[in-house]
Amino acid sequence: MTYFPEEVVEHIFDYLVSHRDRNSVSLVCKAWYRVERSSRRSLFVGNCYSVRPERVPARFPCVRSLSVKGKPHFADFNLVPPDWGGFAMPWIAAAARGLPDLEELRFKRMVVSDESLELLARSFPNLRSLVLVSCEGFSTDGLAAIATHCRLLRELDLQENEVEDRGPQWLSCFSDSCTSIESLNFACLKGEVNAGALERLVARCPNLRSLRLNRAISVESLSKILARSPHLVDLGTGSFTADHRSESYYMLIIALQKCKSLRSLSGFWDASPRCLPAVYPICANLTSLNLSYAPAIQGADLIKLIRHCWKLQRLWVLDCIGDKGLAVVASTCRELQELRVFPSDVFGAGTACVTEEGLVAVSAGCPKLHSLLYFCHQMTNAALVTVAKNCPKFIRFRLCILEPRKPDPVTNQPLDEGFGAIVKSCKDLRRLSVSGLLTDRVFLYIGMYAERLEMLSIAFAGDSDKGMVYVLNGCKNLRKLEIRDSPFGDAALLADVGKYEAMRSLWMSSCDVTLGGCKALAAKMPRLNVEIIDERDEGDEMEENLTDLHKVEKMYVYRTVGGPRNDAPHFVWTV
């Protein structure tokens, strides 16, 4: 290929969409490395500590789109202490110094300060897109900075962030000349928003296609906004609560009817069942529906709504939909690809809302189902075997039986065979979360059959080190392994240390791994960061008793070319 001019090679590389392919071509020869490097427009860093931020502009100076992920996944469930790290600032600073073409930035599970948003806004006035997912550390002041300086902004997407409310004025900071907004999602903001400013913004942005409002937006404001943006494709309603006999509700119905392009609905924060009929007319076109934040809407009303949604591809609901409701989903939503059923009463008395029956019904009625997140109170092997047969196309299968270590209630057996059936049947399975009573056997199956598996989440499962070893030996494509409260120890950890360099990360908490084991791993593999998180009090008991036999409470191992962290808090210790 060296006799092709570089422009041609570059042109060919433009057709390479996936990061993995581009990574591969850069390894072929120096010429290709050079071409690929300068033509790379989009960069994804799956672990912010795997490489130093300064390295990015040096390696890929022409990047326009950067995506960085910070904390380990279990941070979502409070298993990672606050102040652990994952700071966005060094990345923004490095970009400001060396990535002049940057237009799109995405952070997930990172700590983003107002200061860093200010730096971002001032350094990149031409910023087109900012996406923050599950981040924290900033307030509406940071958003104001973005709104003020980034006049060409197309997308501001805030998904499930913890944002401190410092007032509604941030929205008014979008200048009157800003007409480029295509996507605006501030559903996670807790505070008031200036409804008038929002309406004016919506009115002057003709390309607005996605708008997700927060809970503070009333039905009245919603109607006015919809009247100004009838071409919306994706809508997050605000509170959606109104007296169904009121003028506001009537206006809402009128406005919604005009939104012929709406394909996706979410929000419904305070929705009462009586307001739902307003959306019936648009249900027939919906491909995505998220009612998982509407606990007031119970089974019967959900069913009525879903009967209208026969084109649905993605459905997120609470488990109050019940097995009966899922049966309606199965018979109505033949195109369904993704289903998420969340628990509505996490700490409740265990009134069975959805069981294995609902899942079986959906699997029977929706053959295209490929992504599942299902919280339930019980599951049987028989059901899982049936589901595996009905839906061999699963890519993501995450099952969470609420009670840890719960066996099959019918046979009192572990759920090894059920999950075994899933991995055997679903050859394209990339992500799996297991739960319920499980022995080492399920991991034998996973190791044997889950060839494409990339991410595995284990909790309260297994009998011995063998379980973990089966997985490490078998799953060739494993990238992320996260384990909690399972009896895997040093023997498993050290069984195949080279494996961890082929993976992004390993998390183990409340397992049987000892300090000695971690030290051994770190000694053998210098390009891994073996981090221990220990949050205990100061006290004499700690220092004295720190032998190598000491069991480590939380361990996070990841490959890195950046060396040990230089921003680790006192409770994070790199072995």
Partner 1 sequence: MRGLSEFTGGVASSGSMTADVEEELEERQLLVVVVEEEEEELELRLGLGGKKVTALKSAPLGMGCRILTAKDFPSPAAKSRSSPVSSPNSSVSSSSASAVSENKRAIGSSHPPSQAVVGWPPIRSFRMNSLSNLSKDNISNISKESNGEKKARSLVGSSLFVKVNMDGDPIGRKVDLSAHQSYESLALSLELMFLKPTITPGSSFHTAKASKLLDGSSGFALTYEDREGDWMLVGDVPWEMFLDTVKRLRIMRTFEASGLTPRFHSSGKSVGLIASKPS
Which residues, 57 to 86, sit near partner 1 by CB under 8 A?
74, 76-79, 81-83
Report how many residues bind partner 1 under the rule CB under 8 A.
Answer: 76
Which part of the chain contacts partner 1 (CB under 8 A), choosing from 30-38, 51-59, 362-370, 537-545? 537-545
**Rounded Cα gap, residues 492 and 447, in angstroms:** 14
User: Of 332 and 457, which CB lies nearer to partner 1 in the complex structure?
Assistant: 457
Taking the least distance from each CB to partner 1, the nearer of 233 and 359 is: 359
CA distance 309 to 314: 11
Q: How far is the CB of 35 from partner 1 (least distance, A)?
A: 41
Write the DSSP assignment of 226-246 as a string of letters.
HHH-TT-SEEE-------TTS
Q: How far is the CB of 460 from partner 1 (least distance, A)?
A: 8
Whether the Cβ atoms of residue 428 and residue 450 lie closer than 8 Å to each other: no
Nearer to partner 1, 43 or 438 (CB): 438
To the nearest whole angstrom, how small is the minimum distance from the Cβ of residue 115 to partner 1?
Answer: 16
Considering only residues 296 to 355 of the shown chain, the ones binding partner 1 according to CB under 8 A are 296, 342-344, 346-350
Counting contacts by CB under 8 A, is residue 227 touching partner 1?
A: no
CB of 227 to partner 1, least distance (A): 23
Window 264 to 293, contacts with partner 1 (CB under 8 A): 269-270, 292-293
Nearer to partner 1, 56 or 184 (CB): 184
Strands 396-401 and 431-433: parallel
Site for partner 1 in 127-146 (CB under 8 A): 134
Residues in the chain: 575
DSSP 284-307: TT-SEEE-TT-TTS-HHHHHHHHT
- Strand 264-266 relative to strand 288-290: parallel, antiparallel, unpaired? parallel
Q: Give kind and range of the element (H or E) at residue 374.
A: strand 371-376
Q: Which two tokens mark 117? A: 């948003």
The whole-angstrom separation of Cα 209 and Cα 357 is 38
* Closest separation in Å from C-beta 119 to partner 1: 22
Q: Does 162 bind partner 1 (CB under 8 A)?
A: yes
Cβ atoms of 495 and 538 closer than 8 Å = no
Residue (280 or 571) nearer to partner 1, CB: 571
The answer to whether the beta carbons of residues 198 and 222 sit under 8 Å apart is no
Compute φ and ψ for 406, nearest 5 degrees: -85, 130
Q: How far is the CB of 80 from partner 1 (least distance, A)?
A: 9
List C-alpha distances in Å: 256 to 303, 307, 317: 21, 18, 22
Spatial distance between the Cα atoms of 559 and 547, rounded to a whole number of angstroms: 26
Of 17 and 349, CB closest to partner 1: 349
Contact between residue 171 and residue 197 where contact means Cβ atoms under 8 Å apart: yes
Q: Site residues for partner 1, window 7-66 (CB under 8 A)? A: none
Which is nearer to partner 1, 80 or 95 (by Cβ)? Answer: 80
Footprint of partner 1 on residues 197-216 (CB under 8 A)?
Answer: 214-216
Shortest CB 483 distance to partner 1, Å: 13
543 binds partner 1 (CB under 8 A): yes
* Site string (95-114) toward partner 1, x via CB under 8 A: --------------------
Residues of span 467-496 touching partner 1 by CB under 8 A: 484-485, 487
| Among 372, 298, 299, residue whose Cα is nearest residue 339 | 372
Cα distance between the two ends of the chain: 45
Interactions with partner 1, residue window 360-379 (CB under 8 A): 375
- Out of 20, 30, 245, 570, name the contact with partner 1 by CB under 8 A: 570
Q: Closest separation between CB of residue 147 and partner 1, Å?
A: 20
Query: Helix count (H) and strand count (E) of the chain?
Result: 21, 23
| Contact code string over 399-438 relative to partner 1, x by CB under 8 A | -x-xxxxxx-------------------------x-----
Choose one: 157-165, 177-185, 252-260, 297-305; the region binding partner 1 (CB under 8 A).
157-165
Percent helix / strand / coil, the chain, rounded to 5: 35, 20, 45
Judged by beta carbon, residue 207 or residue 566, the one nearer partner 1 is 566
Quick one: 326 or 400, whose CB is closer to partner 1? 400
Burial pattern 127-149, b for ≥16 Cβ within 10 A else e, equals bbbbbbbbbbbbbbbbbbbbbbb
- Strands in 81-209 per DSSP E: 104-108, 129-133, 136-139, 155-159, 162-164, 183-185
Burial 296-315 (b: 16+ CB within 10 A, else e): ebbbebbbebbebbebbbbb
98 or 414: CB nearest partner 1: 414
17 burial type by CB count under 10 A (0-12 exposed, 13-18 middle, 19+ buried): exposed
Instruction: For the CB of residue 8, give the shortest distance to partner 1 in the complex, in Å.
Output: 47
Q: Are 497 and 521 in contact (CB under 8 A)?
A: yes
Among positions 541, 548, 566, 567, the unique one binding partner 1 when judged by CB under 8 A? 541
Instruction: Determine which residue in the list 274, 519, 550, 565 makes contact with partner 1, applying CB under 8 A.
Output: 550
Residues of span 491-520 touching partner 1 by CB under 8 A: 510
Q: How far is the CB of 199 from partner 1 (least distance, A)?
A: 19
Cα–Cα distance for residue pair 417/382, rounded to 1 Å? 9
- Between 390 and 435, whose beta carbon lies closer to partner 1? 435
Q: How far is the CB of 294 from partner 1 (least distance, A)?
A: 8
Tell me the closest approach of the beta carbon of residue 297 to partner 1, in angstroms.
Answer: 11
- Of the pair 94, 276, the CB lying nearest partner 1 is at 276
CB of 196 to partner 1, least distance (A): 17
Among 164, 199, 220, 451, binds partner 1 (CB under 8 A): 164
Provide the greatest CA pair distance for the chain: 75
